[in-house]
Structure 1
């Protein structure tokens, strides 16, 4: 890598780190490009050499967090049976999101189609590629459980979208700051996570609801 390219990359990393710190302290919607430039010690125009807009910064941070999470899941050691490994990944996912609520807020914000339409082609392609990587991991985990006889052999794609919908709900709860006082009698997010994990597992191990409906018809 050329020296100028290395400096450019270092400055971009500095801007992203500074942006995330400001977003966590002051709220990502309120921080301006001018404030980011001031805290990073660069000119405002320099920020735009790296990012076309603040939404581009949102996307880069959301991508970085999601990639780091995926890397973490793939690095986990197998936890006994394949189904136990699925439980472990789910618990790790919820713990990571709970520890980084601002990152979760950015991920939800960047999942909006209208925002993605305003991003550059490279950023949209990166998001699509990351979505595929998550689907690959899910398929690997569920296929292993099917081969072990822990999960019935049913279409994995439908299972993925069901779990994805549940994840969106969990992310919304984390982004909102929790469940609220005495909501449904659940005392903590940890207890809520445990219920959600078991709900997901029940969906994986139970009969295919679509197939059951077709038979009933």
Structure 2
């Protein structure tokens, strides 16, 4: 079932308008293996595209996470700085549709709608240059943290949106220093960043020199998401 879902995702990712095909570039793509206390619990495949728009560029990130019988399919469109423009995530448990969340910017705010078997609910979130979406169990979205120079000074504060939890909060990001990551037998240079927020577990993110996510860790939960292959391989 997972291989079928992956093929479906790859087909969706390849559907680029012909007129823009020569201009759209791949910012990053790959897979993560997700473990808890060293035991594999899931896998994520993703692709992040950079596409031209009037006056600049936008990013489109699509990913598929598989955790046992659960499938999480996410599609996020952002501006050049990584702030959300549109978002959709579908969660399936086996053949059952568990939830669908859709979101888009309306009058400067991110308007979301969630549909589950229990009904529908709507919310709004304030957004701005310091706002990014990093949803639960979706690790490639950490790619958007350093865009717009947010981490250039080594530390800073941003507004983190977690739509599936209907949550938004201030997160402090601090540079932990150089910390190489071993992927596929290769040791890759990386910078580790530490994310802290009130009432939330600490998260650590390893980025390469191009801002690509190599590893994500949630120490309190024993969670590690590690790329299967070096970027670009």
Q: TM-score, normalised by structure 1?
A: 0.25
Higher relative contact order by CA 8 Å / sep ≥ 6: 1 or 2?
Answer: 1
Greater share of strand = 2
Find the structure with the greater CA-based Rg. Answer: 1
